Structure 1
């Protein structure tokens, strides 16, 4: 059974373990270096009021992270900032099952659409999200010149 548990700073070691188990993400996000405790604190514990961070759990095991922010380009949409599954659990359906838990939660809240940004070069992530019904919206450039593809899914 999949559940969500709010992340606290007391769980920083678990967050770090999940991040470090995803070398492709670290390559893109941190140019190959691993996140330090301070970088993770700055990213997740100096919160933007609308942003939420949860662990994804399979029974009693932490298998991933979810970070989202309500309010997006369109009213009623949510921006998924991060859905990361621990590297040891990838390829076994954990990401798909976690996504459907999240989608149902948002539907119950009355959210009408989801958006996600994916680095242009991350073909694996694009296939994952397209397989869940997300469609390409547009390409944008980050402040450091990286190409990002935006995808959306309507939940109506």
Structure 2
């Protein structure tokens, strides 16, 4: 259903378009409606430092989302999903859930026992989405002045 395409710097305009279609998320995560090229470059640099794999998600000929994950989180050294975002025009079609299930299968194939995520405490839409998929809150923390909830899902 989806093709995961390595997200590299030469695809920065595609990433920026997907991110900027999600104004509400950008306001929560970045305190601004629209990201600029420097913001995307900063995300790429941080991902490289944290050994995060970054993918653009393609369905047919269209780029519909972004999926970023790492195999060893900075705090707890567990597999973690750092970003799953769907372009605004493709939201409401079940793609986020299907993309997550694709990611979960990938982790199961790698014999991963659990997945962790961090969600902004003010992102109600994301909090509802992740809990509906079986993630359980286990921690709350503040990072760079923002409150995050840490969630985990056991894979069996």
Aligned counterpart, 1:95:
96
Structure 2: gaps of 5 or more residues: none
* Range with greater deviation from structure 2 (61-70 or 41-50): 41-50
* Alpha-carbon distance between aligned partners in 2 of 1:60 and 1:102, rounded to the nearest angstrom: 20
Tell me, yes or no, if the aligned pair for 2:29 and 2:120 is still in contact at 8 Å: no
User: Could you give the per-residue CA deviations for residues 58-92 of structure 1, whole angstroms, max 9, x where no partner exists?
Assistant: 223211001111113555x3111110111111111
Q: Does 1:148 align with 2:148?
A: yes
Tell me, yes or no, if the aligned pair for 1:9 and 1:45 is still in contact at 8 Å: no
Deviation at residue 139 of structure 1 after TM alignment:
0.8
Aligned counterpart, 2:55:
54
Match runs of 1:36-51 below 5 Å = 36-45=36-45, 47-48=48-49, 50-51=51-52
Aligned counterpart, 1:31:
31
* Alpha-carbon distance between aligned partners in 2 of 1:18 and 1:103, rounded to the nearest angstrom: 22
Structure 1: gaps of 5 or more residues: none
Aligned counterpart, 1:65:
66
The TM-score, its normalising length taken from structure 1, stands at 0.92
Deviation at residue 50 of structure 1 after TM alignment:
2.1
The TM-score, its normalising length taken from structure 2, stands at 0.92
Tell me, yes or no, if the aligned pair for 1:19 and 1:26 is still in contact at 8 Å: yes
Deviation at residue 109 of structure 1 after TM alignment:
1.1
CA RMSD in angstroms, aligned pairs only = 1.5
Aligned counterpart, 2:11:
11
Runs of 4+ displaced beyond 6 Å: none
Tell me, yes or no, if the aligned pair for 1:3 and 1:101 is still in contact at 8 Å: no
